[in-house]
Structure 1
Amino acid sequence: MTRRRVAILGSTGSIGTQALDVIAANRDRFEVVGLAAGGAQPELLAQQAIEFDVPVVAVAKGSAAQDVQLALYAEAQRRGYADGDHDVPRLLIGRGSSSEVAALPCDVVLNGMTGAVGLEPTLAALAAGSTLALANKESLIIGGELVTSAAEPGQIVPVDSEHSALAQALRGERIEDVRRLILTASGGPFRGRPRADLLDVTPAEALAHPTWDMGPVVTINSATMVNKGLEVIEAHLLFGIDFDRIDVVVHPTSVVHSMVEFVDGSTMVQASPPDMRLPIALGLAWPDRVPDVASSCDWAAPTAWEFFPLDDDAFPAVDIARRAGRFARTAPAVFNAANEVCVDAFVAGDLSFLEIVDTVGRVVEEHVGDPAVAATELTLDGVRAADQWARERATALVGAP
């Protein structure tokens, strides 16, 4: 079996570390040709690079470059590389370094970065002709047609558990036979609580997700349901299904990851215990499966699957995302950028939990209500400008008395 060459963007984050777990258990199937990370965890990045004998490592934060370089030398020495039989990786530095790794000759680029910074690496991977295993949903959402038009059919493989489930259920099916897509949401830590009970939520409470182990931004986005709003836009862009045929239901145990309902009344369900290694492995090996990468459901044990409607009053983020997604152009970029600012403000204690989505909604409405925005075509510069405007506007609203 020929090993697939893999580049991992965001290697020290939740997706990146789990991807390397999958690769470590399947070294006969995969080799790592590049790693990219922000630079906040230099020792971990160095351990990954030396452990997997990675030739190229990128660090976005220039001030962390020296720490990463020293950590690489220390890790190499610890593993006995001082005899010169092994090379220390080539180090790329700066914001564009992730795009350089994404453009390396390889079979698969796993984009596990968080936030809008993943857009240019996503475009770089597509331009290089690699399969894009996409966990950085924001890059697709804010890039919209810029990303979808750059991709060949089948070049983007979703890694979000929900969209991986949809992709699996749709294999071999005709898109015209689909009645609707049904995204499941765990409900986060505040499922079932009315809006009035969310006034005094703390960051610690918002970070206590009941079923998934994710990074802080995604975890808080799950608590606000912003993550599910982003996923609705993502599903529309990935599968070409209209927004009025993409629904969200709350499924607390996160065993059913999403469903496809067909025109004849049948529904295809993808189910497995919540473990991101499964969709990550599919993204790396698509269309093949990696044996024993995660545990399966125990069908001998009594099990109940519960589904509940989404409370749009307590969690209006999905409706706001639909508004942004239907408007398209740069509105999804504004939705995402304003949310990133508001999440940071919430964690810092400068914004209440409910004000996160309320502020995002206000920024989106201002943007889509601007006649000049409606008359513009989507361009990369336009996305950047809208992203910057949304961050500045959200920051101003957060600081307003």
Structure 2
Amino acid sequence: MNSLAHPQLRFTPTVRDPEGPRELVVLGSTGSIGTQAIDVVLRNPDRFAVVALSAAGGRVELLAEQAVALGVHTVAVADEAAVPALRAALEARARGGALPRILAGPDAATEVAALECHSVLNGITGSIGLRPTLAALEAGRVLVLANKESLIVGGPLVKALAAPGQIVPVDSEHTAIFQALAGGSRAEVRKLVVTASGGPFRGRSREELAKVTPQDALAHPTWAMGPVITINSATLVNKGLEVIEAHLLYDVPFDRIEVVVHPQSVVHSMVEFTDGSTLAQASPPDMRMPISLGIGWPDRVADSAPACDWTKAATWEFFPLDNEAFPAVELAREVGTLGGTAPAVFNAANEECVAAFLEGRLAFTGIVDTVAKVVAEHGAPAAGTTLTVEDVLHAEDWARARARELAAG
């Protein structure tokens, strides 16, 4: 297996660890992944130092607070209009001290991703993380990947740049697989088992799902996430994306990647080996554990998150996935098999459909149904087609426009 994320292959970055703390760049610093990563860094100043941050620009007060607390030399925002407020917030907190350089615009995060450091944590949400992912890989950094969309929509582009072991995954499911794969040789792997919480609607029929509201869908039973990821978890689109991601990260065929529902979200995923043994990674649902492993790899960060309490009784349940009520995973397998720009179409159409659902313009079951229609219209890529970033962006634009048309219809 030619694995991008291989626990036994440790990539040596262009910039080696300095004598002091490991230098990091954090992309998407004001989001869920970014804020938890910074929490880990601030509690381990001897291990890590953040040199640059990027964010969309909607939370300038938080971004300024992070920048000053971490002492970064560069801050980037995608929204150029946010620069005056960001500068004012930095000045108010720096109290006459040196201010970080400010980069702004749609390419700012990409520029930051190529700065000199050991590792780049890509915590951006959505396919806009593709260019920063490519920039970090091309610059020879270790890519700590929470932005699954960049790998999914740009699979061949990412695989062409990434050396084995250069990507360390942060998704709880993929860090679990990453750790479990250390328990055997690549030739001994029979199956990857990706766990799913089942979201708030586990056990409901398709007919019942047609009546759920955005408020219902945003009430995830175990994870606190942003609205798009929470809805994706409810539809299981997120799990479909993770199946594609697992295929690309570990070079395992789709027919050897299984999804099982595990409501407690304690077993984050498993690897089944050819002798019948299955290795599982378990921990309470807390993203600081996979984040800390990602930025600290190959070493662990002590006390980054709580461990399981074995003094208390607990029950872990596992159920087969209901593909009739939740068809997103099977659709994702089809999309991943098609390859080319099909994953970009799947992801972009879903984002538009989620927005339509949250605004009350589309039924819950209409999300995946509409995505399936857009994917079918897009069709398979032409044989021998070489994927480019422009191809991905064009396919996304088309998919978004078509999904909006269908959702309005």
Normalised to the residue count of structure 1, the TM-score between the two structures is 0.96
How much does 1:377 deviate? 2.3
1:44 aligns with 2:62: yes
Q: Supply the AA of the counterpart residue of 2:152.
A: I
CA distance in 2 between partners of 1:117 and 1:173 (Å): 35
Residue matched to 1:119: 130
Contact 2:27 2:121 survives alignment (8 Å): yes
Residue matched to 2:343: 332
CA distance in 1 between partners of 2:45 and 2:407 (Å): 48
CA distance in 1 between partners of 2:187 and 2:397 (Å): 38
**Residue 357 of structure 2 is aligned with which of 339, 342, 346?**
346
**Residue 143 of structure 1 is aligned with which of 154, 160, 177?**
154
Listed one character per residue, the Cα deviations across residues 321-367 of structure 1 (whole Å, up to 9, x for unaligned) are 00000111111111001011111111111111111111111111111
1:302 aligns with 2:313: yes
State the secondary structure of the residue aligned to 1:345.
Answer: helix
Residue matched to 2:11: none
Q: How does 1:60-71 map to 2 (within 5 A)?
A: 60-71=78-89
1:184 aligns with 2:186: no
Contact 1:183 1:258 survives alignment (8 Å): yes
How much does 1:2 deviate? 3.1
Contact 1:367 1:373 survives alignment (8 Å): no
**Residue 100 of structure 2 is aligned with which of 89, 103, 125?**
89
Residue matched to 1:267: 278
**Residue 387 of structure 1 is aligned with which of 375, 396, 400?**
396
Residue matched to 2:74: 56
State the secondary structure of the residue aligned to 2:174.
Answer: helix
Contact 1:9 1:36 survives alignment (8 Å): yes
CA distance in 1 between partners of 2:295 and 2:165 (Å): 13
**Residue 246 of structure 1 is aligned with which of 253, 257, 262?**
257
State the secondary structure of the residue aligned to 1:105.
Answer: coil
Detail structure 1 runs of 4+ shifted over 3 Å in the superposition. Answer: 372-375
Q: Supply the AA of the counterpart residue of 1:388.
A: D
Listed one character per residue, the Cα deviations across residues 24-71 of structure 1 (whole Å, up to 9, x for unaligned) are 100100001110000111101110011111110000012222221121
Contact 2:129 2:149 survives alignment (8 Å): yes
1:368 aligns with 2:379: yes
Residue matched to 2:330: 319
> What's the Cα RMSD here?
1.1
State the secondary structure of the residue aligned to 1:270.
Answer: strand
How much does 1:376 deviate? 2.6
How much does 1:175 deviate? 1.4
CA distance in 2 between partners of 1:318 and 1:33 (Å): 38
State the secondary structure of the residue aligned to 1:171.
Answer: helix
State the secondary structure of the residue aligned to 2:161.
Answer: coil
Contact 2:183 2:279 survives alignment (8 Å): no
1:8 aligns with 2:26: yes
State the secondary structure of the residue aligned to 1:390.
Answer: helix
Structure 2: gaps (5+ residues):
1-18
Contact 1:157 1:283 survives alignment (8 Å): yes
Residue matched to 1:277: 288
Contact 2:200 2:234 survives alignment (8 Å): yes
**Residue 36 of structure 2 is aligned with which of 18, 31, 34?**
18
Listed one character per residue, the Cα deviations across residues 97-119 of structure 1 (whole Å, up to 9, x for unaligned) are 00011000000100000001000
1:236 aligns with 2:247: yes
Q: Supply the AA of the counterpart residue of 2:386.
A: E
Q: Supply the AA of the counterpart residue of 1:41.
A: R
- How many residues were matched structurally? 391
Contact 2:231 2:354 survives alignment (8 Å): yes
Normalised to the residue count of structure 2, the TM-score between the two structures is 0.94
